[in-house]
A = this chain, B = another copy of it.
Amino acid sequence: MMTQYVHQPSFMTGDEFSIETFCLLNPDGELYEGAEEPALTREHARKLYQAMLATRILDERMMAAQRQGRLSFYMQCTGEEAAVVGAAAALDDADMIMAQYREQGALMYRGFSIDEFMNQLFGNELDYGKGRQMPIHYGSRKLHYMTISSPLATQIPQATGYAYGQKLAGEGHCTLTFFGEGAASEGDFHAALNMASVHQVPVIFFCRNNGYAISTPSTEQFAADGIAPRAFGYHMHVIRVDGNDALAVYEATRQARKIAVEQNQPVLIEAMSYRLAAHSSSDDPSGYRAKSEEEAWRVKDPLLRMQRWLAKKGWWSDEEEATQQETLRREVLETMKRAEKRPPPPLESLISDVYADVTPALQRQLDQLKRHIRRYPEAYPRGAKSLDLTLSSATDSQGEA
């Protein structure tokens, strides 16, 4: 880039240009004038919508279950289903997804079963994560969905590294990483985008700008017009998209993927949306935002918009909607009942996977723990169960050998 020389000092701020928002469907599910429908088959479009719907229903049910005390913790994707499912639908199923935590819709789209969701949520013996992480920390190797990690933004430079490996492997795959506008404040964000652009890595940075990081509104998170203008600092392709418009998200991501995979260039996507629900089951938004603000966004519900578009195409009907909802609710409830009854992971899971092989020192720690639990089985019902100890049996009373 050749710079031009000037002799009058002048400061820029970013107000010199503007970043537009790409959208295809209006809230009524109609194409805007001049908008082109993406080449989505009926099957594909239905699959996309169904994943959004399933996510919505899973979230509603599980939040209710959390309120009933059946689950320790939950986080909803509500309001952002178009953003996450639309993005997932534009990828190859073998592309890696590295998400933050609020993107269960993408996993749903890829075919994670309700059973699989439940096993993680209840941390039972079938949970792939062996009951070690809090609810919603899903992962699936076969679905190319990296296990969620709580520390924010750490997955962003990891996505750059993962995609670098994919580039060297030369199989035409890329990585998409989701993160919130809050997480984008972390140092890891800067590291990730800069390294991706310098090393020409096929990675898509997908920012869900949902207006809040817990209680912190985006006005206290950054001063600029969103996250998008940061791309200029890396000479990176960027597009801003209406995150409540599944079609636009799909199309933006599809094109981003082409750039990533064909040109080995990273792309930043900023999806504008809103976190309709509380941050998590531990949060109460009434302490920091107005109900009216929530209401204003509720009318932009991404599910309604997509459903209307499908209905207009004759690809979805009210009856189908009703049956699907009904079926999904039932499935969630039944699966939940099964999952919560399953036993926890075995005691051995306390020490496995710390290293590829259990070290002798860890084995000794576990053996000691087992002896202790045998002494006090009532105090460790889960451990005792795993050791097949009968709890009511004559065990040492406290303090007697």
Residues on A lying within 8 angstroms of B by beta carbon are: 1, 3-24, 32-36, 185-191, 194, 197-198, 220-225, 227, 229-242, 248, 251-252, 255-256, 259, 267, 272
The residues of B that contact A22 with a CB separation of less than 8 Å are 5-10
Count identical subunits in the complex.
2
Distance A34 CA – B267 CA, assembled complex (angstroms): 41
Assuming the A-B contacts A187-B188, A190-B190, A232-B233, are A4 and B16 also in contact, with contact meaning beta carbons closer than 8 angstroms in the complex? no
Contact at A21–B33, with CB atoms within 8 Å?
A: no
Distance A393 CA – B21 CA, assembled complex (angstroms): 83
Asked if B229 and A232 make an inter-chain contact with CB atoms under 8 angstroms apart, the answer reads: yes
Give Cα A231–Cα B248 distance, bound, in whole angstroms.
Answer: 28
Tell me whether B19 and A3 are in contact (CB under 8 A).
yes
Are B34 and A8 in contact (CB-based, < 8 A)? yes
For the complex formed, measure the closest distance between the CB of A301 and the CB atoms of chain B, giving whole angstroms.
18
For A3, list chain B residues within 8 Å (CB): 18-21, 225, 240, 272
The CA of A36 and the CA of B79, in the complex, are separated in Å by 55
Cα distance A34–B13 in the bound complex, in angstroms? 24
- Give the distance to chain B from A221, nearest Cβ to Cβ, in Å: 7
Contact A7 B34 (CB under 8 A): yes
A205 CB to nearest chain B CB (Å): 13
Complex CA gap A185/B234 in Å reads 11
Asked if A222 and B251 sit within 8 Å, CB to CB, the answer is: no
28 contacts between A and B (CB under 8 A): A5-B22, A6-B22, A6-B23, A7-B23, A8-B35, A8-B36, A9-B22, A9-B241, A9-B252, A10-B20, A11-B237, A11-B267, A12-B19, A13-B232, A13-B238, A14-B236, A17-B17, A185-B190, A187-B187, A187-B188, A197-B222, A197-B223, A197-B224, A223-B236, A224-B233, A227-B233, A232-B232, A232-B233
- Which among B13, B187, B238 is the interface contact of A237 at CB below 8 angstroms? B13
A5 proximity list for chain B (CB < 8 A):
20-23, 32, 242
Contacts of A248 in B (CB 8 A): 9
Q: How far apart are A18's CB and chain B's nearest CB, in angstroms? A: 6
- With A16-B17, A187-B187, A190-B187 as contacts: A11 and B238 at CB distance below 8 Å: yes
A4 touches B17 (CB 8 A): no
Name which residue of chain B comes closest to A33, CB basis: B7
Tell whether, in the assembled complex, residue A233 and residue B239 are in contact, meaning their CB atoms are under 8 Å apart: no
Cα A256 to Cα B11 in complex, Å, equals: 9
From known contacts A22-B9, A23-B5, A191-B187, infer whether A198 and B225 are also in contact, taking CB-CB under 8 Å.
no
Least distance between A67 CB and chain B CB atoms (Å): 35
Contacts of A18 on B, CB cut-off 8 Å? 1, 3-4
- List 5 additional contacts besides A10-B20, A12-B231; criterion CB under 8 Å: A7-B34, A187-B188, A189-B190, A229-B235, A232-B232
Q: Give Cα A4–Cα B19 distance, bound, in whole angstroms.
A: 8
Kindly list chain B residues whose C-beta atoms are within 8 Å of the C-beta of A17: 12, 16-17
A15 and chain B: residue at smallest CB distance: B235
Residues of B within 8 A of A13 (CB): 231-232, 235-238
CB-contact partner of A14 in B188, B194, B231, under 8 A: B231
Contact status A225-B229, CB under 8 Å: no
Contact partner, A9, options B7, B197, B221, B255, Cβ 8 Å: B255
User: Which residues in B have their C-beta under 8 angstroms from that of A235?
Assistant: 13-15, 223-225, 229
